[in-house]
Amino acid sequence: MKVGDGKPVSGVSSLKTRERTRSRDGSETAPRTVSDSASIMGIPEAELTPRVRDALMELMGEVDRLGREVAAMKERLREAHELADRDPLIPVLNRRAFVRELSRAIAYARRYGDPAGLVYFDIDNFKQVNDAHGHAAGDAALHHLAELVLGHVRETDIVGRLGGDELGLILVRTDEADAAAKARSLADLVAHRPLRFGAREIALSISVGAVAFTGEDGPDDALARADRAMYEAKRKG
């Protein structure tokens, strides 16, 4: 088709067409752009054959399906990472994940100079709890301790199981005095909250040791210092 100056205008490969309008006195004005009303993947509907339209719609459906599969895979990977970091018995980090977070806290302290506290604690006479009440009671005691600790620390603090009945607590931006005060408050809390196991109440107590680090320690050194502090407290009763 020819318009105006006689040059052909194609409407197949362009998303827009140009048309001239006339003013009230009948003279032509400058051409204006008119957009197609609909398109699929940028191709105007008017230019699509039924076969091309079906192929494009199938392709769009496949892209959408792949997008959903990728999102589901990312969610499964996130869940797998969380499971890999969790202790298998109680809702805290396992030792590997806890040491990793301790390394990060030490690196942060080294860079910014903010101290952090590390509390190390275990259940006193834990073997006797197992022997007197059974291993199910021992597991319940660990759950009880974890819940008490998690309910009385900040969201930024980190709790992990270091092995057996031993737990660790990283207290961000906390000096040694405050870490020791937190350790004593947790010990008092456990002493006043007996474990209810079936129809019985089982009194529990914990021994705690608290230290602080500012980036000079490695994670193993910090844990060793906190462990020694905890056993010193246990020795003193």
Gap between the Cα atoms of 99 and 170, Å rounded: 10
153 plus 58 within the same structural domain: no
Gap between the Cα atoms of 175 and 186, Å rounded: 17
111 plus 73 within the same structural domain: no
pLDDT at 33: 44
101 plus 38 within the same structural domain: no
Half-sphere exposure of 146 (CA within 13 A, CB side): 24
Lowest mean pLDDT among 18-22, 70-74, 86-90, 207-211: 18-22
Q: Assign 157 a pLDDT band (cuts: 50, 70, 90).
A: very high
- Residue 166: give the domain boundaries: 91-236
Lowest mean pLDDT among 39-53, 113-127, 167-181: 39-53
- Cβ atoms of 209 and 230 closer than 8 Å: yes
pLDDT at 78: 64
97 plus 200 within the same structural domain: yes
Q: Strand 158-163 to strand 116-123: parallel, antiparallel, or no bridges (unpaired)?
A: unpaired
Gap between the Cα atoms of 223 and 34, Å rounded: 72
Average pLDDT of the chain to the nearest whole number: 82
pTM recorded for the entire structure: 0.67
pLDDT at 118: 96
For Cα atoms 20, 26, 27, give the angle at the middle one, nearest 5 degrees.
Answer: 60
Domain boundary (63, 85, 107) is at: 85
Percent of the chain with pLDDT over 90: 56
Gap between the Cα atoms of 84 and 12, Å rounded: 56
pLDDT at 2: 44
Domain boundary (60, 85, 110) is at: 85
pLDDT at 13 over 50: no
Q: Is 25 helix (H, G, I), strand (E, B) or coil?
A: coil
pLDDT at 14: 41
232 plus 179 within the same structural domain: yes
66 plus 10 within the same structural domain: no
Q: Assign 10 a pLDDT band (cuts: 50, 70, 90).
A: very low
105 plus 212 within the same structural domain: yes
Q: Assign 34 a pLDDT band (cuts: 50, 70, 90).
A: very low
Residue that wins the pLDDT comparison between 35 and 197 = 197
25 plus 110 within the same structural domain: no
Number of domains within the chain = 3
Half-sphere exposure of 7 (CA within 13 A, CB side): 3
Gap between the Cα atoms of 114 and 215, Å rounded: 9
Lowest mean pLDDT among 73-77, 78-82, 123-127, 219-223: 78-82
Question: Tens digits of per-residue pLDDT, 74-105?
Answer: 766 665 555 579 999 999 999 999 999 999 99
97 plus 81 within the same structural domain: no
64 plus 176 within the same structural domain: no
pLDDT at 64: 83
pLDDT at 225: 93
pLDDT at 48: 72
114 plus 217 within the same structural domain: yes
Percent of the chain with pLDDT over 70: 76
77 plus 179 within the same structural domain: no
